[in-house]
Structure 1
Amino acid sequence: MLKIILYKQSSQMREFFATCAPKTLLVAPSPALADELGQKVDSVTIGRLISVQLSHYCPKFSMKKKADALLELSTIWFKFFPGRKVEEFFYIYELLSELRSFTLNFDLVSEIIDRVDETTKLAVKIFWKYFEDTNIVDESKGYELLSQVLCDARASKQEKQKSYIFAGFNFFSGVQIDYLKILGRVADVCILIPEIIYHSARPTDWPSWLGKNDDEVNILKLSDLDELNSKAFNDEAINVVYFHKNHLAITLKKYMDGQGQLPLATNVVLASSEVEFSQVNELPFVSATFKVTEQIFEHKFRAIFEKLDSIIFSSGESLSVAKYQQIVDELLTVAQKKEDYRQLKILLVIKKVSTAWEELSESNKNISLEVNRLIATVVQLELPRTSHVNFTANPKVGKVMGVNEYSLLDNQAQNIVCVTSDYPKISAADSFRFDEAALSSLAAIGPIKSGDLSNKIVKFKIEELLTKGGGVLFIERRTACEIVFWQELIDSFPTKIKIIPESNLFLSMEVIAKKQHLTGPLDSIKFSASRLQSYIDCPRKYYFQYIKHLDTEVDLPGSFTSAELGSLEHEVITAFFASSTEQQNIRELSINAIARLEKEKQKKIDQIYYKQILQEIMAYAQNGINFLAQLLESMPGLRLNFAYKIAGDILHSTGEIDCLLTDSQGKIRGIIDFKRGASSIPAATELISFEKIQLWFYSHAIGPIKHEDLVLWGYLCLSNLEKSLIYSADTATINFASGLDFKIREIKSEEWQKLLQDYQHYEQEKRQTCQVDQEMLANPLSEKSCSYCLVNKFCESRLR
């Protein structure tokens, strides 16, 4: 029987496990969580369970490792799609895997595949056919085989005596849910889900697919433990300590007892998607146990493949496999002499992988830079996983773990949650960015992976940690201000600010701005739109951003900032119209743009995050391209001037206009500013009242635009064109917009001229005021001005 067990707090799971039959097997999504939950019952990961069941019930089949599948499919990729990037192959492989997690019936997803570009469509069809013709058992095929064999009498009889508990999962795919329901018919199966998550799930979310409206599924609630545990989380106050970037260790030291020790039975939960040894090393104490993955091969791995890339690049387009392996052998000899066993291991795996790749096809005779990147990815998958574990003789000490590993911490322990901008983000995004029609089709086949639901699960865990026994949230101030997930979590609770001496310079907001921060007379200072806007929003915000030069965005490792993503989307749009080729591949332009920025910023984007940003850049750029292409078609004489720089004008302004519109004679016809999302676009009232000045600033800086010349003036929302805010004085342009999904607003001549004149006086007044301001007081224009301010959690305007 399949049972859905709903619990209000994780401590109820401990009691539930105590009542389970002796041979009950607990199934978890990861080894770390299996270890944590397995303290009470025998445990196993779901991957291991499927592997064991396959070998027992289907001995003729064995699960194909991802590394092996990548090698086989890459042979097809390089043969049928020569010259294409390997990153595109990885993207298509992930797309293939996600579609197969819904169903193995190709006909059910063929309509969705037809919506993608020709290269992706053809590759997915070829790969899918290859899987079917060769009987490759990937993860999804493994679930399907088990779902079929568990219906047999022999398997049913054996499984009837078994009991399973599935706990700690943030998602089940369509093929997994089919398997669980079949398993539930022949064995005793319990799936533990937080009650609040189950009831907040949408019809397309996995909890709804598991149990709702299914007569074969029992929904059971664990009784409330006591009045305290049944209390709503947000009735409790949480303790918050803010600290500066790179000051977590200093702040924690001030919190500790002075002996380098935490109070006994204190658990430290790092708000990281995957806890690394370096993160634990930052913690300034030794009184806690931990087990973390340690990337012992990473440094040498990077060095080896950088060297191989350099050799391939200098030799031309590629190396023969024989020459490539000769170089590997030479490196092996050096490593042996140095007794560098980590390097030895990496090189031996490289040789094994390159040999396997060569043997797959007669055409696999040369290794290019793209093939070398494939080999690097496969080698990473094949290298052994290592963990670092510490031990202590004191059984009462707490633990250090990641938020995804947390489940059964001691009720009596105090919990500390640490958040820094250096940690890989824990907030999740939706699965592949299918369009609405595709999502609607997929929702009829299986559950849609929802970033919103995953974030609710993480939020549930963190709320529970912080409301147990006086938990404390240590959070980097920028992260608290910039990351919406943390803003919403903190704002949903009554908050007690804990002041750690000298841990936060902003708690005493003295008047510290002096005139010498701005030097020289007014005409020697160049203002940008964003600089002047910052002062208008709040002088104190301006001080910290433009005089103290504090960073305005959290720069997470392995990812791009929102500003960098915006620049990439602009770059793709610009590159599309700059090319003389009629047919442009948006994906290729996007991949090239990402690669350029990675090199410029010296970043390496995480593979999981890569596919998300690639999809966003492609989708947002495509929206902008479609709009501008239609505009040019309706007005053939119009010219698009991208990234138009404002410089050297008599107003001493600076900046860059995303898209300046001119006619064939160079006369200015309008300004378009690209925005990634609707939240960045002001309301019409804010624009007219000069609360938001960007477009007015540009119009004033480049010289007044005559009303009769005004074709387009406004903000284009790349994520959703309907949310754009655009004005025009041109009747033809307004009529052109009638065929679009949004309305272009008409602006009258008298209104336009008056607004331009009023803004000129307004800008001059604000420049002069900023020049002589010696106090820079916290005086926000509106509550909205504080939303994305660096110091909004500490500012006197908020605390008073």
Structure 2
Amino acid sequence: MLEVVFYDSNQDLLSKMQKESAPLVICPSPLIADNLRNLLPELEIITISKWTADHLKGLGLVRARKSELMVKLSAVWKHYFPNEKTTIFLESFELFTELRSFTLNLELLAEFFKELDETIVKSILVFWTYLDQEKLVDEHASYKKVTESKLHRPMWFVGFKHMSGVQLDMVKVLSEEQEVDVFFPAPVYNEALPNDWIKWLSQEEPEARKKEVIPTQVSVLPKGKGNVILNKFFESHSTYDLLLAGTRVGLVGFQEAQRKNSFFKTTEDLFASETEWLIGDLRQKLKDVKSYTATELDLHLDALKINTQEKGEYRKFKVIDLAKEALASYSEFQSLIDHFAIDILEIIVGLNSPRVSFITLEEKIQRSFLDMNALNFRNDQKPLAVLATGSLGGFRANEKILSEAMTKALRAIGPIKRAGLEFLFHKYELLSVLGHPETILLIEEQVLETDLSWREVLKNFDVQDLDLGVKYSIKKIHEYLLPKMKEGPFSQKTFSASKLQTFIDCPQKFYFTHIEKLDNRPMERASLGPDELGNLEHQIIADYFLEIAANITEEIKLDLHQAICVRVFNEYLSTSKLVLTETEKARSYNEIMHYTWNGIVFLLDLIRLKNITTIKFEVPLGQNPWNLHGSIDCLMISADNKVSILDFKRSSSAAGTKTETVEFKKIQLWVYLLVLKHQGHEIDAFGYLNLSDLTDDKLFFDTDEAQKLLGASLENVATVVETTIADIQTMKIFRPNPRENKVCHFCPVNLFCLKGGTCES
């Protein structure tokens, strides 16, 4: 029998778990298992990983680790695809492991495969066939094997924020022969969507509790003053634990609040620099040759081991040892070592490196520092302070970007992991914490104003201002920039939309960007900048339509799109001074592929809707009375000779809000429209295209709305343009006056700027 047991709070959960003959309790992670053991020490509690491993051992089987699968599958894959790039393998491998979480039945994925590139599909089929032939048991196959074991007893699944399709199948099969309960918070269930995983187990709506608005104590902090506040706070609240409101808080985040007699634990990669050194050495060996044999590499690694041992460099010794182990597996299938093999060795060494944690060593522990991941089933005997700052990152969650057709195909097979559901868990946990009368929330002002997640949480409370007694005085810090700035005016010969926008955002940002022309970004770096990603995405979309110029109304060609993405991406990497890890390459490539796919699909739909006959990219503005230069991202001309224009943006934040557009705080589109209208073009539609989200159409103006905006705005746009140009040409001192905080993010002097003033303790 299978039952979903709903609970409203930790106390409610504990009361439902206290039975005379308690079943085995299965948790998703060691952290949750430890927290539950502290609350219910009498229960037998185990992680799902240990539980499946024990059952496999009883069946005479061992689960293959991710690193083992990757090194073997990469060597097999290289045999079938000798000329493909590492990024293709990584994308195929990650998609392969994700698809196996949905189903182990390959036939069910037929619809999904129709949406993929042919090489990706063939790669996945090679991986799948190899696992079946070699009878390797990966994580997902282990769940099926567990159901074949006869050593089961009644069990509870507790603390799961996501269950994959294969895990749900396992739970259902197990429940046919024994009692299986899945515990789930009722408030989260009540806000979950119909396709979320828990709804695959139960459609029974738990009784919704009446929401009561309860008071919570909140102290609003100035930006960047969290550490100062905490110093004062712990002087008068010495018994409080501290929750850092972020899901990825590292060592730097915990040190924000470092205090004597405090405890925290955080992971750290102590082998990263040694791995980088080793991989750099191996790549150097390939500088003058395309490949060398696995035997030659093994002998080279042996020599390096001896050298590092003699010098006492034991971390280098460890990563060399890990590389030799990975090489032994890889060389079972491939005798030659090339750049692809080195890429794989780098990833495997990283996966197999020892997991290290930093902890504070104190004889007397007075308080603990936690992050959001440690909040599940926390023993709440001690009062808690919650710190929310912009640097902690908030409630970020990974969510794979899939096309609508892909999502539809997978949704028919199993539940898709959703970042929104993960936030509901965080919200539930924070509501429980903030509902406690002793809890105090310390939140930065800009987080309170701009973070929609915190707004969603705090709308459930009667927020009561708390004065911590920490006084601030406005104190002007040393002015570094003004003495170095030359006095104007500076005559500008030409203007562009982006140039005018920079001045509107902040005069001092304009000065250092367009007069001093500072660029503080290093030539050699480990990631692509937002501007570089945007330029590559623009180029790919333009190149795609250039290829299909003869028939711009046909459906998207996945093979062509994939080929252009690979070509443009690799050409840029080969000519730039970027030093990207394979993970960063894969992340950047995946963004480029999915964002450009979104852009192409949107444009194809618009072409058919508007009966477009001509589509152009990077169209120069041409002659105009304001001497405005620049180019329009995308210009389309319909059969009735009407013009539609689009400006591509990578995210909604880059495009701005509708209010900013209507109030001329964002004027890029208006500049283009002003020039086109002056040249006699009839405008049909215009707007920003958010490449990351096709559903974000709030800044695309069409039909009546477009004409209404144009009629009421173009005269005012001309005034704004003329006034801004005059101010630039006559201004003597370009003072810092940012329109809002976000315009400072990409300013070349952001670190040294007063931004209109600051405050010191």
8 Å Cα contact 2:536-2:592 kept in structure 1:
no
Partner of 2:380: 411
Cα distance in 1 for partners of 2:309, 2:329 equals: 23
Could you tell me how far apart the structure 1 residues matched to 2:292 and 2:284 are?
12
User: 1:27 matched to which residue of 2?
Assistant: 26
Aligned match of 1:141: 141
Which amino acid counterpart does residue 204 of structure 1 have in structure 2?
N
Q: 1:92-111, aligned counterparts within 5 Å?
A: 92-111=92-111
Alignment of 1:487-636 (within 5 A): 488-489=456-457, 493=461, 494=463, 496=465, 501=470, 519-521=487-489, 523-524=491-492, 529=497, 532=500, 542=506, 566-576=534-544, 585-587=560-562, 589-590=564-565, 613=591, 616-623=594-601, 626=604, 635=613
1:281 shift after superposition:
3.8
Q: Which residue of 1 aligns with 2:670?
A: 696
Summarize deviations over 1:193-226 as a string: whole Å, max 9, x none: 221101111221011112225xxxxx9889x9xx
**Offset, 1:349:** 0.9
Instruction: Measure how far apart 1:251 and its partner are.
Output: 4.2
Pick from 618, 631, 652: which aligns with 1:641?
A: 618
Contact 2:658–2:698 under 8 Å retained in 1? no
Q: Distance in 2 between matches of 1:248 and 1:669?
A: 51
The Cα offsets for residues 762-796 of structure 1, whole Å up to 9 and x where unpaired, read as 4223555787799999999xxxx8999999xx999
Distance 2:436 2:567 in 1: 48
CA distance in 2, matches of 1:31, 1:413: 22
What displacement does 1:346 show?
0.7
Cα pair distance change 1:208/1:652, threshold 3 Å: same
Aligned ranges 1:651-800 → 2 under 5 Å: 657-659=632-634, 671-676=645-650, 690=664, 692-698=666-672, 705-708=678-681, 714-718=687-691, 719-720=693-694, 723=697, 756=714, 758-768=716-726
CA contact (8 A) 1:714 1:725 kept: yes
Deviations 1:662-707 (A, max 9, x none): 99xxx9987531134678768999867756522232455x687422
Cα deviation, 1:216-238, whole Å, max 9, x if unaligned, reads xxx9889x9xxxxx864775353
Partner of 2:343: 373
Per-residue deviation, residues 449-489 of structure 1 (Å, max 9, x unmatched):
11111111122223333443443445566666665434544
**Residue in structure 1 matched with residue 520 of structure 2 by the alignment:** none
Structure-2 residue corresponding to 1:175: 166
CA 1:523–1:676: 2 relative to 1, 3 Å: same
Tell me the alpha carbon deviations over residues 45-67 of structure 1, each in whole angstroms, 9 at most, x when there is no partner: 211111112222x22x3212111
Structure 2 equivalent of residue 295 of structure 1: 269
Mapped partners of 1:24, 1:558: distance in 2 = 50
Structural mapping, 1:235-246, within 5 Å: 236-244=216-224
Cα distance change, pair 611–348 in 1 and its aligned pair in 2 (3 A): same
Q: Distance in 2 between matches of 1:48 and 1:170?
A: 18
In 1: Cα distance, 2:386 partner to 2:658 partner: 41
Distance 1:349 1:680, change over 3 A: closer
Contact map agreement 2:602 2:694 (CA 8 A) in 1: no
The 8 Å contact of residues 240 and 495 in structure 1, kept in 2 or not, is answered as no
Closer, same or farther in 2 for the Cα pair 1:622/1:470, shift >3 Å? farther
Q: Give the deviation of 1:372 after TM superposition.
A: 0.9
Extract unaligned runs of 5+ from structure 1.
214-218, 225-229, 550-556, 728-741
After superposition, give the CA deviation of every residue in 1:146-172 in whole Å (9 maximum; x if it has no partner): 23x25xxxx2xx534x5x332222100
Give, in angstroms, the shift of residue 125 of structure 1: 2.3
Distance in 2 between residues matched to 1:405 and 1:193, nearest whole Å:
17
**Do the aligned partners of 1:529 and 1:693 also contact (CA within 8 Å) in 2?**
yes
Which position in structure 1 is the counterpart of 2:48?
46
Instruction: Give the Cα–Cα distance (whole angstroms) in 1 for the partners of residues 659 and 252 of structure 2.
Output: 49
Corresponding residue of 2:190? 199
- Taking the TM superposition and a 5 Å limit, the aligned residue runs for 1:66-145 are 66-145=66-145
CA contact under 8 A between 2:27 and 2:157: conserved in structure 1?
Answer: yes
Residues 764 and 573 (structure 1), Cα distance of their counterparts in 2 relative to 1, 3 Å cut:
same
**Could you list the per-position Cα deviations for residues 690-737 of structure 1 after superposition, in whole angstroms to 9, with x for gaps in the alignment?**
56522232455x68742247687544454428938678xxxxxxxxxx
Question: Does the C-alpha gap of structure 1 residues 610 and 12 become closer, same or farther in structure 2, counting only changes over 3 Å?
Answer: farther
Q: Cα 1:558–1:212, aligned 2, differ >3 Å: closer, same or farther?
A: farther
Query: How big is each residue's C-alpha offset from its partner over 1:491-549, in whole Å with a ceiling of 9 and x where there is no partner?
Result: 6653637678577969x9xxxx999999534845986645755776xxxx747966899
1:354 equivalenced with 2:327 (yes/no):
yes
- Taking only aligned residues, the RMSD between alpha carbons, in angstroms, comes to 5.0
Question: 2:537–2:592: 8 Å Cα contact kept in structure 1?
Answer: no
**Residue 318 to residue 297, structure 1, CA distance change in 2 (3 Å):** same
Cα distance 1:5–1:232, how it changes in 2: closer, same or farther (>3 A)? farther
Contact 1:91 1:611 in 2 (8 A): no
* Match of residue 284 from structure 2: 310
Question: More deviation in 97-106 or 273-282?
Answer: 273-282
Return the offset for 1:628: 9.1
Judged with a 3 Å threshold, the aligned counterparts in structure 2 of structure 1 residues 765 and 105 are, in CA distance, closer, same or farther, namely same
Structure 1 residues 152-191: aligned runs within 5 Å: 155=150, 158-160=151-153, 162=154, 164-191=155-182
Residue 732 (structure 1) aligns with: none
CA distance in 1, matches of 2:512, 2:671: 24
Match of 1:208 among 199, 224, 231: 199
TM-score, normalised to structure 1's length? 0.75
Partner of residue 554, structure 2? none
Please say if 1:253 is aligned against 2:221: no
Q: In structure 2, do the counterparts of structure 1 residues 203 and 127 end up closer, same or farther at CA, with 3 Å as the change threshold?
A: same
Give the 3 Å change call, closer, same or farther, for CA 8–534 of structure 1 in structure 2.
farther
Q: Give the Cα–Cα distance (whole angstroms) in 1 for the partners of residues 115 and 482 of structure 2.
A: 59
Deviation readout 1:637-667 (Å, 9 max, x if unpaired): x65336x699x9995867664346899xxx9
Aligned residues: 718
Match of 2:310 among 322, 328, 337: 337
Paired residues of 2:143 and 2:167 also in contact (CA < 8 A): yes
Alignment of 1:419-430 (within 5 A): 419=388, 423=392, 426-430=395-399
Structure 1 residue 579 displacement after superposition: 7.6
SS at match of 1:404: helix
Match of 2:298 among 301, 325, 332: 325
Do 1:290 and 1:399's aligned partners in 2 also have CA atoms closer than 8 Å?
yes
Q: Would the aligned equivalents of 1:166 and 1:191 in 2 still touch at CA under 8 Å?
A: yes
C-alpha separation in 2, matches of 1:654 and 1:487: 42
Q: Aligned runs of 1:443-482 on 2, under 5 Å?
A: 443-474=411-442
CA distance in 1, matches of 2:670, 2:408: 42
The one-letter code sitting in structure 1 at the alignment partner of 2:55 is Q
For 2:423, the aligned partner's letter is: N
> Identity of aligned pairs, percent?
23
The separation in 2 between residues aligned to 1:282 and 1:75, in whole angstroms, is 44
Q: Assess, with a 3 A threshold, how the Cα gap between structure 1 residues 231 and 414 changes in structure 2: closer, same or farther.
A: farther
1:466/1:93 Cα in 2 relative to 1: closer, same or farther (>3 Å)? same
Change (3 A) 1:84 1:299: same
Identify which range, 520-529 or 24-33, moves more after superposition.
520-529
The change in CA–CA distance for 1:409 and 1:354 in structure 2 (over 3 A counts) is same
Check whether the contact 2:618–2:631 (CA below 8 A) recurs between aligned residues.
no
SS in 2 for 1:211: coil
Are the counterparts in 2 of residues 353 and 378 from structure 1 also a CA contact under 8 Å?
yes
Change (3 A) 1:690 1:467: same
Counterpart code for 2:368? K
